[in-house]
Structure 1
Amino acid sequence: MVFWEGYASDELMGTFAPIVVYWLYAGMYQLLPPLDRFRLHTRKEEEQKNLVPLSSVVKGVLLQQLVQATVAQLLFLMTSKLCSTETQIQPSLPVQLMQFIVAMLVMDTWQYFVHRYMHQNKFLYRHVHSQHHKLVIPYAIGALYNHPLEGLLLDTFGGAISFLISGMTARTAVYFFCFAVVKTIDDHCGLCLPGNIFHIVFQNNTAYHDIHHQHQGTKFNYSQPFFSVWDRLLGTYMPYNLIDREEGGFEARPLKDKLI
């Protein structure tokens, strides 16, 4: 039994829980003290380099989430009609764990190749993906700030395909999509906090993705949101050192001479 049983369906939770989690988790980062000694960029850099105001970022994220919720409802409606009641019985925890891993690998694969193509295709980069890179200095609330087409192709379709291929139930999908949202926000938060579980478990983390947002790294570190496997296999991995800045905080400095 889960806490929402009797109040909301798994399908409804799978649609709206990730949106609620997004604003709660990203909002937590937004409300934190400055924490300058853990930042990858100074607040002055953020103000000078970012090309879009916070209000526009919020509107862009809300638009993407509207599309995301619509597609999720259609997806759950389609799968509930195709599946019998028996196949919707919640599987054992080991099976759910395997479905999680499969979904993570599928999402990583989809996002790597779509993301990389959006950089390599000049038209798509100029008219679609460049919107996300207006946040040269990423921050948590801007994790899903994308052109609507990119949001649909990269995130929404990526989530749908991961759900379908992994075979997870709507209830398992609630946990998976919320987890994916939290990981994506963390990758864009701009902070290297001690004890951050995502930095301990995943090499694809805040500093890793920060390299991609900088001018010298836009052709590298395409992998998101979980692993760095595809970057390493296909020669787009850019290693880096995390060094202390004199004025406080950290800098993820690329090691161009050690490119894989």
Structure 2
Amino acid sequence: MYCYYSRLLHHRAIYKYIHKQHHQWTAPIAIAAMYCHPVEHILSNLLPPAIGIQLFGPHIATQWVWFALALIQTLNDHSGYHIPNISTPEAHDYHHMKSTQCFAGLGILDYIHGTDLQFRQSSYFKRRFRLSDFVSTKYFGKAKQ
């Protein structure tokens, strides 16, 4: 679902009015995850986790954990760091560089729709598997000092 919503935000009739603000960061940092138009903040950052809560009505502690995990994933997608056992930010970093690629969270729909072809041929794609340490992606292929 997010993949299609993300593609909608990149439609030329909408992009310059709503989503362009978020894409001012071509090399995103974690705080840029929340830098967006108020409409986008409601529709992208607040509504999706709230829908799950409304559908299932979990305990308040579960709601806090649900929102915390959603926030951590969003911050990680914009951090440039590989945090163990959390998906890597490579595809989303590439999305900020080339806003016509990598719309989906998990990448399956990008593969199906062919919106990850350039990403798959880039060095970002090769780095997406490293999940074992906290090293920034800028050190990939270089000796640590």
1:197 pairs with 2:89: no
Whole-angstrom distance in 2 between the partners of 1:190 and 1:163: 29
Deviations 1:172-204, CA, capped at 9 Å, x for gaps: 1111110111111111112346xx221xxx3xx
Whole-angstrom distance in 1 between the partners of 2:27 and 2:53: 31
Whole-angstrom distance in 2 between the partners of 1:170 and 1:161: 15
Question: Which residue of the other structure, out of 213, 226, 230, is the alignment partner of 2:96?
Answer: 213
Whole-angstrom distance in 2 between the partners of 1:164 and 1:190: 32
In structure 1, stretches of 5+ residues that fail to align are 1-108, 252-260
Residues matched between the structures, number:
126
Contact kept? 2:49, 2:70, Cα under 8 Å: no
Question: Which residue of the other structure, out of 112, 115, 123, is the alignment partner of 2:6?
Answer: 115
Q: Which runs of 4+ in 1 moved over 4 A?
A: none
Deviations 1:70-124, CA, capped at 9 Å, x for gaps: xxxxxxxxxxxxxxxxxxxxxxxxxxxxxxxxxxxxxxx2x222111011x2121
Question: Which residue of the other structure, out of 9, 28, 45, is the alignment partner of 1:138?
Answer: 28
1:184 corresponding residue in structure 2? 74
- RMSD of Structure 2 on Structure 1 (CA): 2.2
Q: Which SS does the other structure have where 1:223 is aligned?
A: coil
In structure 2, stretches of 5+ residues that fail to align are 129-137
Question: Is the alpha carbon distance of 1:170 and 1:113 closer, same or farther for their aligned partners in structure 2, counting shifts above 3 Å?
Answer: farther
Whole-angstrom distance in 1 between the partners of 2:51 and 2:100: 25
1:169 pairs with 2:59: yes
Whole-angstrom distance in 1 between the partners of 2:104 and 2:63: 22
Question: Which residue of the other structure, out of 228, 251, 254, is the alignment partner of 2:107?
Answer: 228
Q: TM-score normalised to the size of structure 1?
A: 0.44
Return the offset for 1:167. Answer: 4.1
Whole-angstrom distance in 2 between the partners of 1:184 and 1:138: 11
Deviations 1:3-57, CA, capped at 9 Å, x for gaps: xxxxxxxxxxxxxxxxxxxxxxxxxxxxxxxxxxxxxxxxxxxxxxxxxxxxxxx
- Structure number with bigger Rg: 1
Whole-angstrom distance in 2 between the partners of 1:179 and 1:236: 26
Return the offset for 1:145. Answer: 0.8
Contact kept? 2:29, 2:79, Cα under 8 Å: yes
Whole-angstrom distance in 2 between the partners of 1:234 and 1:151: 26
Question: Is the alpha carbon distance of 1:112 and 1:168 closer, same or farther for their aligned partners in structure 2, counting shifts above 3 Å?
Answer: farther
Q: TM-score normalised to the size of structure 2?
A: 0.75
Return the offset for 1:127. Answer: 1.1
